[in-house]
Amino acid sequence: GQQVMQIPQYQHVQEGEDFTTYCNSSTTLSNIQWYKQRPGGHPVFLIQLVKSGEVKKQKRLTFQFGEAKKNSSLHITATQTTDVGTYFCAGRGNTGFQKLVFGTGTRLLVSP
């Protein structure tokens, strides 16, 4: 079945440093979504990418969808303590009704 892996599993940065998490799927995706989960909270939707090579920005966050639609990345510029949490990618296959498959997540810790 479809598998989605994320790296790194954990990253600890100083406030102001950049952060990137990478997501790789074993199969071609129809779209990819990103979620953020604060400690003790629930996943909250950030964005969805649909097109090959698509790039979207949300303030300091930049999301990319690979040309082959099998990988994606989230880059945070100049991290802040409010960025702390676990970031999940989640992808859907590209045939028929496909369930969302979540990546393993990257836990981000930001020190002031």
Partner 1 sequence: NAGVTQTPKFRVLKTGQSMTLLCAQDMNHEYMYWYRQDPGMGLRLIHYSVGEGTTAKGEVPDGYNVSRLKKQNFLLGLESAAPSQTSVYFCATDRDFSYEQYFGPGTRLTVT
> What residues line the site for partner 1 (CB under 8 A)?
1, 6, 9, 31, 33, 41-45, 48, 88, 90, 92, 97-105
C-beta closer to partner 1: residue 42 or 59: 42
With respect to partner 1, which residue has the nearer C-beta, 18 or 45? 45
**Cα(26)–Cα(3) distance, rounded to whole angstroms?**
5
Q: Where are the beta strands (DSSP E) in the chain?
A: 4-7, 10-14, 19-25, 29-37, 44-49, 55-58, 61-65, 71-76, 85-93, 101-102, 106-111
Q: How far is the CB of 40 from partner 1 (least distance, A)?
A: 9
Q: How far is the CB of 107 from partner 1 (least distance, A)?
A: 9
- Minimum gap (Å) between residue 69 Cβ and partner 1: 15
**Distance of closest approach, residue 7 Cβ to partner 1, in angstroms:** 13
Nearer to partner 1, 43 or 85 (CB): 43
Give CA torsion, residues 95, 68, 18, 35, to 10 deg: 0
